[in-house]
Amino acid sequence: MLWKDKYELGVLLIDTQHKELFKRVEAFLQTLRSSASWDEKVQKVNETLEFMKSYVVEHFHDEEVYQKSIGYPNYEEHKKIHKEMVDYVLQVSDEYERSGFNEQLMQQFAGKLLAWLINHVASEDQRIASYAIEKGVAGDE
Ligand SMILES: [Fe+2]
Ligand SMILES: [Fe+2]
């Protein structure tokens, strides 16, 4: 598991979603990199991709609602980063469908997705927690 407890923000909903995202992205990579043939795994890959597309949107939304609730000053900037990621995911997904489920495309995408997730959760999302602590609005649980 690539998840680390130090990634926690101390907000139950957000932390739960982050853990779920890590779990799903790792499972996605495992499926992609298993020794089974592409024909055997393409269906599972597609299902996972569909799940992540909606889950990512849901998570970003919930995280933005939390940011607003604590008056996070980098809300707009953070929202823009989220939107760019959603656009990227949808663009790759479109390309993938148009290509007739090209394996190479998904392999590259999965690696990028994992790198993005780790980097974003470990840095950008952590800034929300730092602000909450600094302002004394941390710990809504
Ligand atoms: Fe997040
Ligand atoms: Fe975020």
Tell me the CA–centroid distance for residue 30 and ligand 2, in Å: 24
Give the position of tokens 């919930």.
62
Question: Alpha helices of 10-124 — where are they, by DSSP H?
Answer: 12-33, 38-69, 75-98, 103-119
Q: Evaluate if residue 141 carries a pLDDT over 70.
A: no
DSSP state of 8: -
Helices 12-33 & 38-69 angle (0-180, nearest 10): 160
Q: What is the pLDDT of residue 138?
A: 78
Tell me the CA–centroid distance for residue 132 and ligand 2, in Å: 14
User: Which CATH architecture group holds 42-141?
Assistant: Up-down Bundle (1.20)
* Ion ligand 2, residue ranges at CB < 5 A: 63, 125
Domain range list for the chain: 42-141
**pLDDT tens across 83-134, in order?**
999 999 999 999 999 999 999 999 999 999 999 999 999 999 999 999 999 9
